[in-house]
Structure 1
Amino acid sequence: MNAFTRPLSRWCGLSVLTLSLFTLAGCGQEKQGPPQARVPEVSYITISPQKLLLAKELSGRTSAFRVAEIRPRVNGLIQKRLFTEGGDVTEGQMLYQIDPAPFEADLANAEAALAEAQAKLPSVQAKAQRYGKLLTSESLSQQDYDDAASAHDQLKATITALQAKVATARINLGYTKVTAPISGRIGKSSVTDGALVAAYQTVALATIQQLDPIYVDVTQSSAELLRLKERREKGLINPDQKNQNAANLIMENGKPYALEGIFQFRDVTVDPSTGSVILRLIFPNPQAEILPGMFVRAIIKEGVNDEAILVSQQGVSRDTKGNPYALVVNAENKAEMRQLTLDRAIGNQWLVVAGLAPGDRVIVEGLQMLRPGTEVKATPVDQGQTAQADARTPKSGEGEK
């Protein structure tokens, strides 16, 4: 072997050795096989029924308990306005003074005419009585007696008419003092001193509104009324005797009103344009915090669900059609799909009507890419976190599906 062939044979030997090592490494990898799939870890909550007071939040507007539009009952000139605009007035308080002079004169004339007629009555009455006695002795004609009796009756009728005229004049004189028919808060005046007003005119002089208590009129769909009736008939909701007619209020700024109101009545007619009915509530309003025309939200108690099933909203998903479902851990520790029927949202939870049962383990964590039928490693959610979530959840059911 010459000097040229020795390096070449050394290089060939190294190549064969390297190829052998790669071959052995490849054989070792083929013997190991594919890695085993990791079992997904999930966390669940156990469904436990609970007693729940259900309520419905409805929007509406406020209106005054009583409204009185002040109008004059006689024609005349306003002498003086006797109230402060925007202030409180009491029933019977004098608001306006209409010039009474013409009405005082009418009353004086009517009283004078009545006095004149009453002064003539004794003479005419005595004459009629004398003619009656003379008629029996045949010393007086029947016609003379009839004339005297007729004059007496006519004078009595005149006195009655004049008495009515006096009463009318006295009433009209009283109408010159325009008083408040109800107690409440009065608005701005449409007239000033010196204005000429007409009896029962179209434009009111002012308006008084009684604000304590105050009405709250809210609307509820007729379909919701039918659903509520169906739930009660099926026993899903039982009337709450203690809070059956109670209601709460949320003001325009989102803050709850301190005082509790009561449900008064539900209208008997459905509005065809909206498909809803009006519910009237009454709330005490001693500080006049609620003003007529405010937009508010009322929380009305519907009843009590003794076996309510609540599930965290993070445990409810929706399919491509928008139908809600949940994944539960079955007895074989596999994820199982349950189609749900939801009633409404209550805080951070859903009220479930159908699809879950007490004792079901609903998966709330680890839902990403989890498919039904997949074996899972399930652990319960930390009870401390659950208690904190429950504390943040309202005790009464509010809101809609």
Structure 2
Amino acid sequence: MTNTIFRRIAYGPFLLALASCGGGNPQQGGAGGGEMGAGPPPLVVAMTVRAQQVPNIVELPGRIEAVRTAEVRARADGIVERRLYQEGTDVTAGQPLFRIDPRDLAQQVEQSRAALARSEAARTNAASVVRRYAPLVSERAVSAQEYDQAQATLRQETANVADARAALARARLQLGYTIVRAPIAGRVGRAQVTEGALVSASQATLLATIEQPSPIYAVFTQSNAAILDLRQAGAASTPLSQVEVRLVLANGRDYGPVGRLDFADQVVDPQTGSQVLRAIFPNGERLLLPGQFIRGRIAMGTNPNGILVPASAVQIGERNASVSVVGKDGSVAPRPVQLGGQVGGNWVIKSGLKAGERIITDGWQKVQPGQKVQVRGDPAPAAAQQTQGN
């Protein structure tokens, strides 16, 4: 028993060394086993790239902005007594939003009304003096100087009446500002002040903000060079109002209604070389909110020799995008490409591919660079091979 255990211990390292040298299963090929242990080439689906007419699409990041925005600010001094609207609701132009304590301004109205009454009384007295002096001037009972002085006093009192009336109208106007009204129709946001807050007309205290929900703007920024390329590619004669724009929301879904460009800034930012484009969209369902991040797909002209490939064929990495190209001998090579916009479920290829080349649309995940594959779905027609040879 002891001898048997000793022999197992003695021969153990030898058997392990023999197994590591390939003495195990002869059907298992190592890393350098070559073709002897290799399986059949992977089966993939490929397509031949063909030139076709595609729209020139550029994707731009942008933000949503309201067509009309109004900041509701205090135009009277006083304490806010009450908020007269519900936050986040639609309001009409002229609708009351806040009420400011009117008592001080109401007293100013009464004071101005009293001042007007004094001015009118003084004017009435001056007018009666002029009427009494008029027949006495011809009889030399009143000197001409006294008569001229009476007429000047009447004119002065008449001016005082006009000044008092203007002061009364201004006091009434200020009193009217104690009811703060919506300057435009739209959706009003949350109140910036609460009941009991002291607001100031001189400091123009912000009370709330109103934004028109529909239609709405999408504002984009793009390099001037890219915009020039698009125009030179065939959109130079297209009126701005006929350029269609589609939006992709922050959750990746497409926004249904189609917008159109309505403004292109005529000034290029000298620091960034960028230019501002703006599109207008209907917003009946109010999915677009001011400040919201979106991506716009702007179609400007068409490219008669464009290339479209399925999205499943594109491998998007951190720095670039690529496709797997099948050569004449069936071997696969990665090819970096420059992507344009998306048309349906296809990517527009701006550079990196040419007509007649074959790319893998399904199965590229199981293929290594340089490995040969079996192609299903596209037998590499002779016309395509001839195009590649040329």
Query: When the two structures are superposed, what TM-score results if normalisation uses the length of structure 1?
Result: 0.67
Moved more, 80-89 or 133-142: 133-142
Separation (CA, whole Å) in 2 of partners of 1:99 and 1:352: 65
Question: Counterpart amino acid of 2:144?
Answer: Q
Aligned equivalents of 1:84 and 1:190: distance in 2?
13
- CA drift at 1:123: 3.7
The residue number in structure 1 matching 2:357 is 362
**Identity percentage over the alignment?**
35
Contact 1:311–1:352 under 8 Å retained in 2: no
Structure 2: how far apart are the matches of 1:166 and 1:243? 51
Structure 2 counterpart of 1:102: 104
Secondary structure at 1:216's aligned position in 2?
A: strand
Q: CA deviation digits over 1:8-47, x for unaligned, max 9? A: xxxxxxxxxxxxxxxxxxxxxxxxxxxxxxxxxx999666
The amino acid that maps onto 1:250 is V
Structure 1 pair 113–311 and aligned structure 2 pair: CA distance change class (3 A): closer
Which piece of structure 1 moves more, 128-137 or 283-292? 128-137
Matched, 1:216 2:218: yes
CA offsets 1:219-263 (integer angstroms, 9 cap, x no match)? 11122122223323xxxx676679832211111100111222221
* Contact kept? 1:44, 1:364, Cα under 8 Å: yes
- 1:195-344 superposed matches below 5 A: 195-201=197-203, 203-232=205-234, 244-310=242-308, 344=340
Deviations 1:125-184 (A, max 9, x none): 232134233223333212211221121111101101101111111101101111111122
Whether the 8 Å CA contact 1:315–1:364 is kept in 2: the answer is: no
CA spacing shift, 1:243–1:109, aligned 2, 3 Å: closer
Matches of 1:213 and 1:43, distance apart in 2:
46
Contact 1:240 1:303 in 2 (8 A): yes
Stretches of structure 1 that go unaligned for 5 or more consecutive residues are: 1-41, 317-321, 371-377, 384-401
**Compared with structure 1, are the counterparts of its residues 296 and 67 closer, same or farther at alpha carbon in structure 2 (3 Å cutoff)?**
same
Q: CA deviation at 1:187?
A: 2.0
Distance 1:65 1:244 in 2: 19
Larger Rg: 1
Q: How many residue pairs were aligned?
A: 321
CA–CA separation in structure 2 for the residues paired with 1:154 and 1:345:
77
Cα distance in structure 2, aligned partners of 1:350 and 1:103: 67
- Residue 211 of structure 1 aligns to a residue in which SS? coil
Question: What CA deviation, in whole Å up to 9, does each residue of 1:197-217 have, x standing for no partner?
Answer: 111425412222222222211
- Opposite residue 156 of structure 1, the aligned amino acid is T
> For residues 165-184 of structure 1, what are the structure 2 equivalents within 5 Å?
165-184=167-186
| Distance across 2 between alignment mates of 1:368 and 1:304 | 34
Residue from 373, 378, 382 that aligns with 1:381: 378
Instruction: Give deviations 1:68-112, integer Å, cap 9, x for gaps.
Output: 222111111211111122222221111111111222221122122
SS at match of 1:80: strand
Within a 5 Å distance, the mapping from 1:115-194 to structure 2 comes to: 115-194=117-196
State the one-letter code of the partner of 2:378.
V
SS for the counterpart of 1:205 is: strand
Q: 1:328 to 1:129 in 2, by over 3 A?
A: farther
Q: CA deviation at 1:275?
A: 2.7
C-alpha distance in 2, partners of 1:80/1:380? Answer: 73
How far, CA to CA, are the matches of 1:206 and 1:43 in structure 2?
60
8 Å contact from structure 1 (residues 45, 380) kept in 2: yes
**Distance in 2 between residues matched to 1:90 and 1:143, nearest whole Å:** 62
* Aligned partner (choices 57, 63, 66) of residue 65 of structure 2: 63
Q: 1:227 to 1:328 in 2, by over 3 A?
A: farther
Partner of 1:212, secondary structure, is coil
SS of 2:254's equivalent in the other structure is: coil
Provide the rounded CA distance (Å) in 1 between the counterparts of 2:73 and 2:314: 64
AA aligned to 2:267 is T
Specify every segment of 5 or more residues in structure 2 that has no aligned partner in the other structure, as ranges: 1-43, 316-320, 361-366, 381-390
Alignment RMSD = 4.0
**Preserved contact between residue 238 and residue 301 of structure 2 (Cα < 8 Å):** yes
Contact 1:80 1:97 in 2 (8 A): yes
Distance (Å, rounded) in 2 between the aligned partners of 1:279 and 1:80: 42
Distance in 1 (CA, whole Å) between partners of 2:62 and 2:75 is: 36
Q: Give the alignment's TM-score, normalised by structure 2.
A: 0.69
Counterpart amino acid of residue 252 in structure 2: G
Could you tell which deviates more after superposition, 131-140 or 276-285?
A: 131-140
Offset from partner CA, 1:58-77 (integer Å, 9 cap, x none): 11111222222221111112
User: Does the C-alpha gap of structure 1 residues 48 and 302 become closer, same or farther in structure 2, counting only changes over 3 Å?
Assistant: same
- Mapped to 1, the partners of 2:309 and 2:168 lie a distance apart of 80
